[in-house]
Structure 1
Amino acid sequence: MASSTIFKLLCIGLMGSVLLAPPQGEAAVSCSSVYSSLYPCLGYVMGSAPLQQGCCNGVKSIYDAARTPSDRQSVCSCLKSLASSGGGNINFNNAQSLPKQCGVNLPYQITPTIDCSKVY
């Protein structure tokens, strides 16, 4: 009986993951890749360290990976989530200056309130 219940739960979980997975051809940039690329920026964005080259390398790699509007909207959503979850720990002046300081033209500001559906 218990193994039957576990099997049913596994099937439901598998179906849910298939239904929630993005269709092929949609955004290839995941939040986990955005977060790991921006990890070297953490000290700078929190105002506790100077800007490092590793941070700019991460910013540039995300910019290069976001080739389609769907990719850019995904990256925007990831950045919005980071900005929202950081609360009072984020120095938004530093966060918003990152793209320019790293030589990247980001057509939107990183804020917790950005409408990512308008990013193309």
Structure 2
Amino acid sequence: MAKGMKFACLVLACMIVVGPITANAALLSCEAVHNYLAPCIVYVIQGGVMPRGCCNGVRNLYSTAHSTADRQQICGCIQQNARRVGSVLNPGRAAGIPKACGVKIPYKISYSLNCKTVR
């Protein structure tokens, strides 16, 4: 279950790495990314009602990623953990979280997102 939670966080973080571009990069740690997205884990793995904390975390992470470097760092955290964890989450549920939370991202959520293309 712990491996599944890490993977779920990674997929969710990948969904929200695009945000407004500014001059200063905050460069978030992988631990910070995990903390923002932790409330989403059970929903992505098991379904049910999406926790309010999930949308709050998604919106907060989205607004924290101010630069391309921030978004690529978040994506890298996702990929790093995804390699360690199997596919125990529901990719359809994960892909639907941004829309359900009112966060628009300009790309399709998938396991194969190339972090170098994230702007």
Aligned pairs for 1:79-94 (under 5 A) are 79-94=78-93
Query: What is the match of residue 64 of structure 1?
Result: 63
Superimposed CA distance per residue, residues 57-112 of structure 1 (whole angstroms, 9 cap, x where no aligned partner): 00011100101011011112223344444423110001111111111112234433
Question: Structure 1 residues 79, 108: CA separation in 2 closer, same or farther (over 3 Å shift)?
Answer: farther
Q: Is the 8 A contact 1:99 1:105 kept in 2?
A: yes
Structure 2, gaps ≥5 residues long: 1-23
Between the aligned partners of 1:38 and 1:116, the Cα distance in structure 2 is 18
Between the aligned partners of 1:114 and 1:103, the Cα distance in structure 2 is 21
Give the secondary structure class of the aligned counterpart of 1:89. coil
Q: Is the 8 A contact 1:83 1:90 kept in 2?
A: no
Q: How many residues were matched structurally?
A: 96
Q: Is the 8 A contact 2:47 2:93 kept in 1?
A: no
More helix by share: 1
The structure 1 segments of at least 4 consecutive aligned residues displaced by more than 6 Å after TM superposition are none
Give the secondary structure class of the aligned counterpart of 2:41. helix
Structure 1, gaps ≥5 residues long: 1-24
Query: What is the match of residue 35 of structure 1?
Result: 34
1:32 Cα deviation after fit: 0.7
Q: Is the 8 A contact 1:108 1:119 kept in 2?
A: no
Q: Radius of gyration: which is bigger?
A: 1
Q: Is the 8 A contact 1:66 1:72 kept in 2?
A: yes
Query: What is the match of residue 10 of structure 1?
Result: none
1:112 and 2:111 matched? yes
Query: What is the match of residue 11 of structure 1?
Result: none
**Worse-matched range after superposition: 104-113 or 87-96:** 104-113
The CA RMSD over aligned residues, in Å, is 1.9
Query: What is the match of residue 78 of structure 1?
Result: 77
Give the secondary structure class of the aligned counterpart of 2:87. helix
Between the aligned partners of 2:27 and 2:79, the Cα distance in structure 1 is 18
Between the aligned partners of 1:83 and 1:113, the Cα distance in structure 2 is 11
TM-score, scaled to structure 2: 0.70
Higher relative contact order (CA 8 A, sep 6+): 2
